[in-house]
Chain A
Amino acid sequence: MALLACEALTFAYPGSAAPALREVSLRVEPGEYLLVVGPSGSGKTTLLRHLKSALAPHGTRTGRVLFEGRPLEAVSRREQAQRIGFVMQNPRDQIVADRVAGEMAFGLESLGCDPARARLRMAEAASFFGLDGWLDRATADLSGGQCQRLNLAAVMAADPAVLVLDEPTAQLDPLAATEFMALVRRLNEELGITVVMGEQRMEEAFADAHRVVVLEEGAVAACGKPRAVAARLVAGDSPLAAALPAPARICHGVVGAEAPAEDTAPLPLTVREGRRWLRRWCAERGHGGAAPANPTPVEPTGRSKESSFASPSAAEPERCPTDGFGRKTGASRRVGVHGCDAALSLRDVWFRYDRTGDDVLRGLSLEVPPGSLCALLGGNGAGKTTLLKVAAGLARPLRGSVRALGRSARRGPFPGVALLPQDPQLLFSQPTVAAELAEMADMAKAAGGSQAEVVELCDLGSLLERHPLDLSGGEQQRAALAKVLLGNPAVLLLDEPTKGTDVLFKKRFGQLLCALTERGVTVVMASHDMEFCAAWADRCVLLFHGAVAADDEPRRFFGANRFYTTAASRMSRDVFADTVTDGQVIAACGAVAAQATEGECP
């Protein structure tokens, strides 16, 4: 008997003509790890919320949801609360108590668990999730990743049979997201907990899952084992193929271009499988396998060659459509030229938040030339956000000089420099997007920003009358960016702009940033998203312990790193030198294939 099942579930929100779910039938067996994927707006959340009566949305519904063979309505709320654990997207919203221990106890208290047993459950969960050290901490002081781990622990303390997660990592940085996914995998593998997870970001979860369900416009488009689903997605040229793990995208880009119909090897889903596959692929074509000694890459971007590899795969984000990579090399030539005309220049900057606190920036120096797209990378607490605040003039350094657009620091923020914070909701205060933009336009009248142009650039036309807080994560990011751009900044500082957004948005966002730098806007972006930085930035700066640890153009930057680099680079580094994006690996493979055929033909 299936643990959870949907039978021909159709659902429409009140007032909307199109149903959000169409005839969804689904069976979740005990102990299974089921991944529900789909682009934003495909009905993932609606479906998952139907799996628990307390969260089921209001609207017209036909079909049934069964829990252990019983209709869900017949299962008491209390039993559902205990047996079906649910973790939602926003880490902070789910927290009720003010201390970690209280939060863990909340569910058990609500279920009327007797104190001795509840303490045992809390102790178990705390040690499994590694929370022992911070039981007495205030929940307000936890980071997003810690909050989400606490939410998971609090739900698991009630000992549920099935765990339903609705995009649990969308608000987390990639490192915290990976940690969270590893926890979920452990729960499934070591404790046999049934897991149903909705995710936009498939990199981590795809290989872990037993089965994958693809939702498109509320209907099940594909369902099956991860490899089969991945193969179906790439074969169908679905836009979701771009969200597959990098090895699968690369393999498809190479093999699909070579022999579209041929389906010999299963798609690699992890870096380990990808490496094995790539090694064998290269060996078959007589490529040495070892990385070439010379650090200069063979112009592998492939646009100039007429081979079939030149066409970008679904995975490779299309750069500025006009000139491909040409502009990038031009811009990167400027890297390292420490001219006095830098748009942003920090020299020996020291900063701390508290008189007695630790230094967050320790003698940091950085120059960003005008019109470049500079990515700041580094772990949590490396000082990325602080650096942006200092650069915006929101925080005054203890020592050192900060100059933006040739002006040195004075009281208050720099004019012409705008900071888009990590949480775009901080910028929203009006009832509609249009009012948000009008508020900014009023202020910026003197600066001469044209509202229609910005709306066009950020693709907000259809969203103008919506409430900003009702938009999806990517839409909010675009609306906030539009608001910032109306001020016509010459230096744009972005804090984690791709957090919680899907692949399609990232591509569009990268193009938008490119278009901005074309116009001479300087963009500095703090990000954990290595794939995005490798594909779009002119220059990557690694912050470590409050200072710059590495500063180079993306290819050399990621090519030189071993751990801190993109999946494409990790997969290909012992075969090719400095191939750090999917497109570069695919192009390098194309060059190998071309050599191999040349070798055979004459």
Chain B
Amino acid sequence: MGTPPTAFLIPVHPIVELGFFLCAIGLGVFLLSPPFALVGAGAAALTLLLLQGRAAGRLIGATVPLAAVVALANPLFVPLGQTVLFAYAGGRPYTAEALACGATVAALLAAVLWWFASFNRVMDTAKLLYLFGRFAPAVSLTLTLVLRLVPTFGRRASAVAEARAGIGLGRGSGAKVPAIARVREATVVLASVSAWSLEHGVATADAMESRGFGTGHRATVPCWPLRWRDAVALGLMGALVAIVVAGAALGVTEATFFPRIAVPTGAPLFGVSLVAYGLLLLLPALVMGRERLRWHFSRARR
């Protein structure tokens, strides 16, 4: 919360950052093929690690077991596939193909989650406001307020819970608190937080109106000039996306899992589009890596 967004370490135009995340998340959801999913998850994890360091490690560590559950549970629902690993519950097959399919989906989900984590980190509300402010000022401001509300709510709720514990109400009052009491306590905390937020929302609305919100044309102040670097990045991203999309049109990004796994490795554009996809996703990581090296060898360090 406290540290400013890293913004891929070099100042790029928000449209580039937004474009990147749109591509990464948009393509990632559709490319249901083991090699592409693996590349996606790997790039997402690497980017997040470079952005957040240790904190990212925790998130990734928490996601992996979740993904494992998704992967391992898939064969329980999908009894298709030729390679039966074992049978259970009176002969229901548990197949390798279903497991692979589950693993691919899990990798996709994890990748999307991690991309969103990076997105949150990079695209702060000022940038979103800047990008969308001119089309829909009211909507984008509402978005900011809502985005701010979530962490504020959380902080307030824990403060209320602590304050209540401090006067002997709530969680602390017994060694073993029954579930019903805990639920009741949670509703009380929620009631307190909602009343508080309504009360204070009125004051915020007053402050906004007092400062001229909604009195006419609205400008956006933070300006990010579109530099040649941004144009190049956009062009490069566009080219890479075009290659991947071309590959997808030819069917190389698809895979069949049943009755047995088949990835079209031999198709003409398969290698090219996989490399293009990887390059596209690794663009921020490459830029950040280069910046780190540049810092490492810069005069500033001597």
Contact = CB atoms under 8 A, between A and B. Distances in A.
A136 B5 CA distance: 9
Interface stretch (A112-120, A234-242, A452-460): A112-120
Interface string B158-173: 0110111111110111
A98 B125 contact: yes
B204 A93 contact: yes
B136 interface: no
B219 interface: yes
A82 interface: yes
Nearest to B148: A98
Interface string B205-219: 011111111111111
A418 interface: yes
Interface string A122-161: 1000000000000011101100000000010011001000
B199 to A, nearest CB: 5
Contact of B215 (A92, A111, A113, A136): A111
Interface string B104-115: 000000000000
Given A77-B215, A98-B148, A115 B124 contact: no
A469 interface: yes
A423 B171 CA distance: 20
Interface stretch (A102-110, A209-217, A594-602): A102-110
Contacts of B2: 137-138, 141
Interface stretch (A224-232, A243-251, A276-284, A425-433): A425-433
Contacts of B133: 109
B10 interface: no
A118 B152 CA distance: 29
Contacts of B87: none
Contact of B210 (A86, A112, A115): A86
Contacts of A119: 221, 223
B155 interface: yes
B163 A427 contact: yes
Contacts of B214: 110
Interface stretch (B13-21, B189-197, B245-253): B189-197
Contacts of A154: 211
B125 A109 contact: no
Contacts of A429: 160, 188-189, 191-192, 195
Interface in A292-321: none
B126 A97 contact: yes
Interface string A37-80: 00000000000000010110000000000000000000011100
Nearest to A422: B163
Contacts of B211: 81, 106-107, 110, 154-155, 158
A349 interface: no
Contacts of A158: 211-212
B210 A99 contact: no
B182 interface: no
B223 to A, nearest CB: 5
A115 B167 contact: no
B75 to A, nearest CB: 41
Interface SS of chain B: helix
Interface residues of B, number: 58
Interface stretch (A257-265, A397-405, A409-417): A409-417
B84 interface: no
Interface in B1-50: 1-2, 4
Interface string B177-194: 000000000001101100
B145 interface: yes
B259 interface: no
A198 B173 CA distance: 43
A76 B216 CA distance: 11
B240 interface: no
A86 B196 CA distance: 23
A238 B217 CA distance: 50
A93 B210 contact: no
B200 A138 contact: no
Contacts of A93: 200, 203-204, 207
Nearest to A78: B215
B60 to A, nearest CB: 20
Contacts of B223: 115, 119
A418 B219 contact: no
Interface in A489-531: 489, 493
B222 interface: yes
Contacts of A108: 219, 221
Given A55-B209, A81-B212, A96-B207, A487 B167 contact: yes
A396 interface: no
Contact of A112 (B160, B172, B219): B219
Contacts of B207: 88, 93-96, 151
Interface of B: 1-2, 4, 124-126, 129, 133, 141, 144-145, 147-148, 151-152, 155, 159-160, 162-169, 171-173, 175, 188-189, 191-192, 195-196, 199-200, 203-204, 206-223
13 contacts: A54-B206, A55-B210, A82-B212, A88-B207, A93-B204, A97-B144, A98-B125, A140-B148, A140-B152, A141-B2, A412-B165, A428-B195, A429-B192
Closest 5 CB pairs of A and B: A81-B212, A429-B192, A93-B203, A419-B166, A426-B163
Given A136-B4, A394-B162, A418-B168, 11 more contacts: A88-B207, A94-B204, A96-B208, A107-B211, A108-B219, A114-B219, A115-B221, A425-B196, A426-B164, A469-B199, A489-B168
Interface of A: 52, 54-55, 76-78, 81-82, 86, 88, 90, 92-99, 101-102, 105-115, 118-119, 122, 136-138, 140-141, 151, 154-155, 158, 389, 392-394, 411-413, 415, 418-421, 423, 425-430, 439-440, 443-444, 469, 483-484, 487, 489, 493
